[in-house]
Structure 1
Amino acid sequence: MNDKDYVGDVGRFNNILWDMLNDLRSETGNTSAKLANKSANLTENQKLYGYSWCLPYLSAENCCWCLSDAIAEVPTNCCRGKSGGTILYPSCGVRFELYPFDKAHDNITWVLPPPTSPRPSAPPGTHVYYNCTRNSTSATYNAYRSNIKTVLDLLSSNSSSARYYNATVVSDNNVDTVYGLFLCTSYLDPKICQSCVIEAVKLISSLCTTAKEAIVWYEVCYVRYSDNNFFSTVEKTPEISFMNDKDYVGQ
């Protein structure tokens, strides 16, 4: 994180940003789709744009709780003094920028994540992060791995017709049951959503070969699988933040 202080009209920017993010939190929790976007005037010639989302299966209360914690990271762990930033949890996320970023993803080139950097540098819209947890090499993992492939295939094949989709492959012993989900931002063109999900599935398959649970985030979509049913549960780890490298300087 860049620790430079705010410059320019600090108080005005902070107040408008904070009000907008809290409005987004309330609106997101109260919509059935669990997403919202908003803009606010900074000056006559400059706007601030924001977007927030929760897993669509969360209750309104849990969605607001998740977003409250994500928003609290903006001035602390993520984006202090920056003109834009993104906080992503497994269950919710929030983003703000000084440009209408919903128009910035027409010509995306997907990139591979660096193996060690938690804050990868990439073209707008293509930031990517992955996390593989609870690795297993037990004999029964072969059956679980087969179910992972089935779930990921289902996610890929359904990405052309939906913004989000979940799939479950149930095993007789429950130990090998796999839960999977993909989610795209609401402003993404369906073809780009499909492309993003397919690329995320490729990454999660190649990078997390022994993981019981894994997640891949692109800035505009994510794919996750687990042996636990996470669809309606608030989870805040692992988390990732992206920031605009430019300080806010006012206008």
Structure 2
Amino acid sequence: MKLRHRLFILVACGLLLSACGNALATPIDRKTPLALQPSPTLPAATLTPQATDELAPFPPAVTAARQALADRLGTQPDAVAVAGYVAANWSDACLELGSASESCALAVTPGYRVFLKVGENFYIFHTNQTGDLVRQELTPADIPQAAVNARQALAARLGLDLDLLITVVSVEEVEWPDSCLGVSSPDVMCAQMVTPGYRVALEYAGLKYEYHTDLSGERVVAATIAP
């Protein structure tokens, strides 16, 4: 009887210990794990390529014009900013900037019109395709204010934001025969008096324009307007 009682006690203790062990065991996590959210993608930085012998940001002709201006001003090319450039087909081998003493072959010469800036001053150059021929266009420092005003008048007429896009081909000092600067109009009476001024030849997008001015440039009249 005592033996049976002891066996019962041992079995009961075994069952109690087993139950306690199961209660202390770490429960199994049966939850569905959360999906990992991707990190937001940052926009890639846009890098401007550096000027090297293998990779230049400008055509060689533009770089040549930049170097030519730097040499002329006695500064480094890095001090010369390229404000812009446009392809051009010059009508002669002198890039349409030949002097009166030059004989320029009448042959279409592909190249560029280059806009450069140093400080607050703009400079314009004509080049051929390769840049081995570079010439400087007249700038406001080289032409009378009357011609600058004529260029600005044409820019306003054409709706251009930058009058430097217009080429000053030539500036000729003349004496107009009347107060209308040699441009008559049926609605305007012109006093017959000699009026000193300028004949200004301009060009834009291959089209020629002529303006007449007085000496100061206060009066500017379109003589011929291309269609």
* TM-score bracket, shorter-length normalisation: under 0.3
* Structure number with higher relative contact order (C-alpha < 8 Å, ≥ 6 residues apart): 1
Give the TM-score normalised by structure 2. 0.25
Higher CA-based Rg: 2
- TM-score, normalised by the number of residues in structure 1: 0.23
